[in-house]
Structures are given as structure tokens and as C-alpha cells.
Amino acid sequence: MSRIGVLVMSYGTPQSLDDIEAYYTHIRRGNAPTPEMLADLKGRYEAIVGGVFPLRANTDGQVASLQDKLEQLAPGQYVCYQGLKHAVPYIEDGVQQMAADGIVEAVGIVLAPHYSTMSVGTYIKRAQAQAEELGIRMSFVEQYHLHPKLLQALAERVKDGLERLAVSSGGAEPVKVLFSAHSLPVRIREVNDPYEEQLLATSREVAAQAGVADWQFTWQSAGRTREPWLGPDILETLQELNEEGVKGVLVAPVGFVSDHLEVLYDLDLEAKSAAAKLGMTLERIAMLNRDPLYMETLAESIIEAKRDL
């Protein structure tokens, strides 16, 4: 019997500084960015430790660790492939590789826990279209935002983060936990998109498990387009918290699972310096990356989705 393919999908990142324009053009559905937009994005990648692209190594590591975890739970049954949304190997490349290897049944999963028609929904559409063309039967994990092991891993990180914040702020009070995720255009509300509710559900559960009473949710990393995006943005939220007298902030970007630009630049550089200018201390929880509990979350969700094949 042939093995079950696992298409592990992630956002993708440029391969080099020279590749940023092609990457940005792909994100913009074939429209090249203006020279100003390109310079701005290049500047952000350069600011994160001199132009590195940590998402690639992190995604590679996550896929390798997931393969090991599946091997432990179901020896010889699953084989992982990578498919990226905006960089090589693209989602379609991953599906083509499965077909070339003789895979006839596969499960797809995205390295993002919350479902939106504009995020996970588009990954699935592309994978499904290519799989149909090549005769591969696929089922998909659409979300895993309330998986108990994911919640446990995040709650542990919030507890650790609060300890770090107590040290770096010299015990200053009061402290607020800010859960965050990538903003999306406000128009997702017109289609009753579950994204916002799922993010709030994760935040609520993680706060409860970490024993945090004082928390709120905020958006980050809104795109540079003309239409309205979900807000408030974290930079506005920091202003408000400062007006309320908050002294310490722990950011928990629960919509992301990896160290990458939106975390290392938007939070660690931009939000941290904005908080410092307001006289507040800001810390961030460690990202999940290859956390064993996260790997178990993915593996168990895949094994569950295989039942729908």
C-alpha cells in the first residue's frame, strides 16, 4: 500500500535580498511593488539581523520534526512534502512531487492554526485544484486553534514570558498580556469568516490556562493597501495602554507559529521601541517553532483528517 502524503503548507520567504522583488510581486498577485514599497520591505529584512530569512530554516525544521513525530505515532505510514504560498517550492510543486512519487492519497495542513477564507482557505484551494488535476485524493486540516496541546504549549510560553517581563521591567505594575495576529482586510466580515472568533477563542483559553486575568486582543502587520484592515493595530493599542497607566506588556502572537519578519521586525523592533518611547517594557513569548507539543498537535490533527479520505 502506498504511503499517505502530507502536504505541509507555509507562507514562504525570499531566498536572498535579490529575490525580495519577485516574492513581493507574488504576494501582490503579480503586481510589482513601487520602488518605495520595495525599499521599505528590503529595509525590514535588513533590520532583522542583517537580511536573514529565518522562516525558511524554521519551516524546513518544522517539516522534518513533523515527519519524525508521524513516524513515531504511525511508523511507515506518512511522508511529508513542503508547499509554500509565495516562494519555491510552491504549493503546486509540493503536490506535483507527491504525484511523481506515486502518492494517491494525501492530507494537507497549514502552519497557521486559525482558518480564514483569505489565509488557510486559499492554501487549500490551490492544493485541492492541483491534486484534482493529478488524481490525488486529499483531505485537509482546516484549523487546530483549540487543540489541547497547542493551548498547553502557548500557556507555558505566556507563563515564562510573564516571568521574563517581571525581571526586565523591575517588577513594574500593572501588566497586560496582548494576544495578536496578522490583520486582514475588514471585508472578511462580509463572508462570516471565522478568523476573528477563532483567534479570540485561542486567546481566551490560553489566558485561562496561564492564569491571566488582564489580557486583550490586538491586530498587527496590516498590509500596505488602500482598503481598511482589521484594527486596532498594536501600535495604537500600546498608546491606549499607556494612557491607562499600563507599565509592562507581554505580546503573545498566537496567530503565528514561527520566528519570521512579522514577529522579529513588527514586534521585536517596531512595537518594542514604540513601547519604550512610551515608558513601557515590552516582551514577547517565544515562538513555537519545533516545540514537541506543537509537533504533536500537527501530527494528531493529520491522523484525524486522514479518516476523511
Query: Considering only residues 61, 223, 228, 231, which one is a binding residue for ligand FEC as defined by CB under 6 A?
Result: 223
Q: Cα–Cα distance between 266 and 282 in angstroms, integer?
A: 13
Q: Cα–Cα distance between 258 and 183 in angstroms, integer?
A: 17
Amino acid sitting at position 86? H
21-40: contacts with ligand FEC (CB under 6 A): 24, 27-28
Query: Residues with Cβ < 8 Å from 65, sequence gap 6 or more?
Result: 290, 295
Part in contact with ligand FEC (CB under 6 A); list of ranges 66-74, 206-214, 219-227, 231-239:
219-227
Told to check if 11 binds ligand FEC by CB under 6 A, we report: yes
Told to check if 262 binds ligand FEC by CB under 6 A, we report: yes
**Which CB atom, from 131 or from 261, has the smaller least distance to ligand FEC?**
261
**Which CB atom, from 119 or from 218, has the smaller least distance to ligand FEC?**
119
User: If you write DSSP's letter for every residue of 87-133 in order, what string do you get?
Assistant: SSSBHHHHHHHHHHTT--EEEEEESSSS--TTTHHHHHHHHHHHHHH
Report the 10 Å Cβ neighbour count for 76.
9
**Which CB atom, from 20 or from 241, has the smaller least distance to ligand FEC?**
20
Told to check if 13 binds ligand FEC by CB under 6 A, we report: yes
Query: Considering only residues 131, 138, 141, 184, which one is a binding residue for ligand FEC as defined by CB under 6 A?
Result: 184
**Which CB atom, from 91 or from 107, has the smaller least distance to ligand FEC?**
91
Please state the closest distance from residue 290 (CB atom) to ligand FEC, in A. 16
Q: Cα–Cα distance between 190 and 180 in angstroms, integer?
A: 22
49-68: contacts with ligand FEC (CB under 6 A): 53, 55
Q: Pattern of binders to ligand FEC over 110-149, x per CB under 6 A? A: --x-----xx------------------------------
**Which CB atom, from 120 or from 177, has the smaller least distance to ligand FEC?**
120
Query: Considering only residues 137, 187, 224, 277, which one is a binding residue for ligand FEC as defined by CB under 6 A?
Result: 224
**Which CB atom, from 98 or from 254, has the smaller least distance to ligand FEC?**
254
CA dist 212 to 246, 250, 280, Å? 15, 11, 19
Q: Cα–Cα distance between 307 and 16 in angstroms, integer?
A: 40
Number of residues near ligand FEC (by CB under 6 A): 20
Please state the closest distance from residue 171 (CB atom) to ligand FEC, in A. 34
Q: Cα–Cα distance between 259 and 165 in angstroms, integer?
A: 19
Q: Cα–Cα distance between 201 and 45 in angstroms, integer?
A: 32
Is the preceding peptide bond at 228 cis, omega within 30 degrees of 0? no
Is the preceding peptide bond at 75 cis, omega within 30 degrees of 0? no
Dihedral sign for Cα atoms in the order 165, 183, 61, 142: positive
Provide φ and ψ at 105, rounded to 5°.
-135, 140
Applying CB under 6 A, the residues found at the interface with ligand FEC are 11, 13, 24, 27-28, 41, 53, 55, 112, 118-119, 182, 184, 223-225, 255, 260-262
